[in-house]
């Protein structure tokens, strides 16, 4: 197909409630929506950057720059026969995985629509429904957290993840476990600890956690292997994994026993699938992470999470858990059994609502041949 037009929209989506993590407080998400028009179809993608460089070095500004000045000029007006062709055209750009993923995911949507198949089908998905979980930010007290957990369990979520940080960790884990001894329960530190904090994690070993996510530095693989040796609970890496090569290193070093896959963190669905396949070949479970996406990014996440080795519930919650009104129809919902339906229509399988998209757009730029 020939890439005729690309549009970027910097959007600002206000969260229904502030999200508190070891990295700070988030009240809104500033993502970039990418629209690609080619051969009569329109593909949509979402770059899950943020206004701040606290989770990743990428920000809305850096991704806009990389897309506008390098990635879009590399593909605009070009005839491509696969997403792989487009990736090859932009391969000279090092890093900037979130910028790359925004464009790459829009192209996957366009190719799926051109073939009249769902994105799930095109990616190799095998499930009609996926298991989903919820990620809960740091609460003012353990009692507040237990109340939140109760609410989400009542809504149907089958797996609870809580954010932890030094000073807001063991007490919170203990409180949830005391109330709910049997739920699937995991913690996410977002790199807030050091190897010297091993005692905290040894103590956590007694609480039957599904996994401990990214306890150590965002760019570390080696120290995680030392920590994993000390623990029964699997470590799961998130921030440290940007490619299938990183995943291979982490598995060889035994730095983790589970991997969180976020297309945005690894440059898109193509690299995500390579990580998925590598992990499957080594019997390492993966699950789908979340970056508080709008319905556009969420639709892609749901499609990817329908692949067979996504055996643990993902951070893919109902649209209403994030935003009062999503920019797509229909909104994503969680059933009482903790599952979410995988869209079956062409491409991402949800419709972008133009007026809603316009309302959240703070900057727009169009690129034509
Ligand atoms: O449900 O989309 C969601 C949020 C999942 O906790 C979540 N994301 O570190 O994985 C993470 C965390 C995050 C949120 C990271 C916002 C960066 C920004």
The structural domains of the chain, with segments of one domain joined by +, span 3-117+350-368, 122-341
Select from 292, 302, 319, 321 the residue to mutate for testing ligand 1; criterion: most ligand atoms less than 8 Å from CB: 292
Predicted pLDDT of residue 43: 98
| Alpha helices (H) in the chain, listed in sequence order | 60-66, 72-75, 83-89, 97-115, 119-123, 142-155, 170-179, 198-204, 222-230, 244-252, 263-266, 269-281, 295-304, 354-360
Decide: 317 in ligand 1 pocket, CB within 6 A. Answer: yes
- Inter-residue contact 139 to 148 (CB < 8 Å): yes
Range 150-166 average pLDDT? 97
Decide: 188 in ligand 1 pocket, CB within 6 A. Answer: yes
- Cα–ligand 1 centroid distance for 318 (angstroms): 14
- Over residues 108-156, the pLDDT tens digits come to 999 999 999 999 999 999 999 999 999 999 999 999 999 999 999 999 9
Predicted pLDDT of residue 308: 98
On whether the 3-117+350-368 domain is CATH 3.30.390.10, my answer is: yes
- Phi, psi dihedral angles at 14 (to 5 degrees): -85, 125
Please tell me the residue having the least CA distance from ligand 1 atom 7: 290
Query: Which DSSP state fits 92?
Result: T
CATH superfamily of 122-341: Enolase-like C-terminal domain (3.20.20.120)
Q: Is residue 163 annotated as part of the catalytic site, yes or no?
A: yes
Residue with the two structure tokens 């890496």: 237
Structure tokens at 55: 């989770």
- pTM to 2 decimal places: 0.97
Predicted pLDDT of residue 21: 94
Ligand 1 atom nearest 262 alpha carbon = 10
Please give the angle made by the CA atoms of 69, 358 and 106, to the nearest 5 degrees: 50
Predicted pLDDT of residue 289: 98
Predicted pLDDT of residue 366: 98
18 pLDDT band (50/70/90 cuts)?
very high
Predicted pLDDT of residue 305: 98
- Phi, psi dihedral angles at 181 (to 5 degrees): -65, -20
Predicted pLDDT of residue 15: 97
Range 264-271 average pLDDT? 98
Predicted pLDDT of residue 332: 98
- Cα–ligand 1 centroid distance for 290 (angstroms): 5
Please tell me the residue having the least CA distance from ligand 1 atom 14: 291
Predicted pLDDT of residue 330: 98
Closest alpha carbon to 174 in 137, 217, 206, 219: 206
- Cα–ligand 1 centroid distance for 292 (angstroms): 6
Closest alpha carbon to 114 in 185, 53, 42, 197: 42
247 pLDDT band (50/70/90 cuts)?
very high
Select from 98, 215, 289 the residue to mutate for testing ligand 1; criterion: most ligand atoms less than 8 Å from CB: 289
- Strand 24-38 to 41-47 pairing: antiparallel
Decide: 292 in ligand 1 pocket, CB within 6 A. Answer: yes
């Amino acid at each position: 197909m020939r890439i005729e037009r690309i549009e970027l929209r910097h959007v600002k989506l206000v969260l229904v409630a502030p999200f508190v993590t070891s990295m700070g407080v988030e009240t809104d998400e500033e993502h970039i929506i990418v629209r690609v028009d080619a051969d009569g179809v329109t593909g949509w993608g979402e770059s899950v950057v943020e206004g701040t460089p606290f989770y990743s070095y990428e920000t809305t500004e850096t991704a806009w720059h990389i897309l506008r000045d390098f990635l879009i000029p590399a593909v605009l007006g070009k005839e491509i026969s696969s997403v792989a062709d487009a990736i090859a055209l932009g391969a000279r750009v090092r890093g900037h995985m979130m910028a790359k993923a925004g464009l790459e995911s829009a192209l996957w949507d366009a190719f799926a629509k051109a073939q009249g198949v769902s994105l799930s089908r095109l990616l190799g998905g095998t499930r009609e429904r996926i298991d989903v979980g919820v990620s809960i930010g740091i609460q003012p007290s353990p009692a507040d957290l237990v109340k939140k957990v109760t609410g989400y369990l009542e809504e149907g979520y089958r797996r609870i993840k809580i954010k932890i940080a030094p000073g807001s960790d063991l007490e919170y884990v203990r409180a949830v476990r005391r109330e709910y001894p049997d739920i699937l329960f995991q913690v996410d530190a977002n790199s807030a600890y050091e190897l010297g904090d091993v005692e905290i994690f040894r103590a956590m070993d007694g609480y039957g956690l599904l996994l401990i996510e990214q306890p150590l530095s965002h760019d570390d693989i080696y120290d995680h292997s030392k920590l994993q040796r000390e623990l029964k609970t699997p470590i799961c890496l998130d921030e440290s994994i940007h490619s299938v090569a990183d995943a291979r290193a982490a598995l060889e070093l035994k730095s983790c026993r589970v991997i969180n896959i976020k297309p945005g963190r690894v440059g898109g669905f193509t690299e995500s699938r390579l990580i998925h396949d590598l992990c499957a070949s080594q019997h390492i479970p993966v699950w789908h992470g979340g970056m508080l996406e709008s319905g556009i990014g969420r639709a892609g996440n749901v499609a990817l999470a329908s692949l067979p080795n996504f055996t643990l519930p993902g951070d893919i919650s109902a649209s209403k858990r994030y935003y009062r009104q999503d920019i797509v129809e229909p909104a994503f919902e969680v059933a009482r059994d903790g599952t979410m339906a995988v869209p079956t229509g062409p491409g991402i399988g949800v419709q972008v609502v133009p007026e809603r998209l316009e309302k959240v757009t703070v900057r727009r730029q169009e690129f034509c041949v």
